[in-house]
Amino acid sequence: MSRNAQDDAENDGGIVNRFSDDISGSDDIAGQWSAADATQKAFLNILEDSNEEKGRLGAVQSAVLNILEDFDTERKNVEQANAVLRHEVAERTRAEAALRRANAATAAANKELEAFSYSVAHDLRAPLRSIDGFSQALVEDCADNLPAEGRTYIGHLRESAQHMARLIDGLLSLSRLGRTEISRSRMDLVPIVRAIFARFRREQPGRSVELIVPAEVIAIADVRMMEVLFENLLENAWKFTSKRPHARIEFGQVLRDGHLVCYFRDNGAGFDMEYAGKLFAVFQRLHTTSEFEGTGIGLANVERIVHRHGGRIWGEGEVDRGATFYFTLEEGT
């Protein structure tokens, strides 16, 4: 660009020479000025270019510095993270050791519990069988020496022995439900309810009990535990509707607070909501034995099964207006 400017100046000078020789001296000066000016411009341009280059270099240098600085920060971060990680690994190793110890303790406790319930199952039942059996032998073989009063007492003896056997069985099933592994699969709960209901009906054909169920209720649950759950719920409903000429038992699903909730309803004796908190406690009964026979373990079993599934259970009722049990079988419902 600067060279073009100089050429232009020389060409201009040529034309001026041809037409006016007199002022050729001043012509020369003008040419030199313009050449100098062009050179200066060229220098300035070069300087400007080199300045730009310097600026660029500076930028590169500071970028490199920045990268180095970043690298240093990064290295520090990595070192810090490594330290944290080392600490975490140590912590985890400690925690794992603690967990292993806790697991071993749990396994030992479970083993002991198993031995205990085995002993309960085997050893506590034998004497009861003896009490019941020999009481009856007394009635059969020594009836002549036994007044009516004596026979009544023996009746109480036998009843108590049998009741205790049921309590032992209930406790055993409760401890078994706590111990067995849960294995979930997808199933329809309605056929399970129907099958258990059919069995109850076969055992007591004299009663008028209506079962109301929907087409299907799908759940992902442990099938054996579901059988125990509905066995207990149905036994409960069956028992507490025993004084109704027409009993109604209903199983279904409703939407509560955005969650599908199963319910089990009967039109039986119901209960006072004041005691709703005691419904599921072991050995807790809300009716006297003379009103309704029971062990107080059935609903405890039901609650344990629901809890093993991560669900929730609650009861709603009114005296003489029936009871409804609501439950879920999934975590976080």
Instruction: Summarize as ranges the residues that interact with other proteins (CB under 8 A).
Output: 117-118, 121-123, 125-130, 132-137, 161-162, 165, 176
Would you call 282 exposed, middle or buried from its count of C-beta atoms within 10 A (0-12, 13-18, 19+)?
middle
Q: Which residues pair with 263 in a beta bridge?
A: 252, 326
For residue 291, the minimal CB distance to other proteins (Å) is 23
For residue 180, the minimal CB distance to other proteins (Å) is 8
Nearer to other proteins, 161 or 323 (CB): 161
Nearest to 271 by CA among 295, 288, 293, 257: 288
Nearer to other proteins, 51 or 130 (CB): 130
User: How many whole angstroms separate alpha carbon 154 and alpha carbon 146?
Assistant: 10
For residue 204, the minimal CB distance to other proteins (Å) is 18
For residue 191, the minimal CB distance to other proteins (Å) is 24
User: How many whole angstroms separate alpha carbon 11 and alpha carbon 162?
Assistant: 134
Nearer to other proteins, 55 or 127 (CB): 127
User: How many whole angstroms separate alpha carbon 282 and alpha carbon 226?
Assistant: 19
Nearer to other proteins, 158 or 265 (CB): 158
Residues in the chain: 333
Instruction: Look at strands 209-212 and 184-188 and give their pairing.
Output: unpaired
| CA 8 to each of CA 1, 20, 99, 210, 226: distance values in angstroms, whole numbers, following the listed order | 11, 19, 93, 117, 105
Nearer to other proteins, 129 or 246 (CB): 129
For residue 161, the minimal CB distance to other proteins (Å) is 7
Question: Alpha-carbon torsion 37, 39, 45, 51, what sign?
Answer: negative
For residue 169, the minimal CB distance to other proteins (Å) is 8
Helices (H), the chain: 2-19, 24-123, 125-141, 148-179, 189-203, 223-240, 298-308
Nearer to other proteins, 122 or 202 (CB): 122
Residues 316, 276 contacting (CB under 8 angstroms): yes
The two three-digit tokens of residue 167, written as one number: 């309590």
Nearer to other proteins, 18 or 122 (CB): 122
User: How many whole angstroms separate alpha carbon 197 and alpha carbon 215?
Assistant: 16
For residue 293, the minimal CB distance to other proteins (Å) is 14
For residue 134, the minimal CB distance to other proteins (Å) is 7
Nearer to other proteins, 165 or 190 (CB): 165
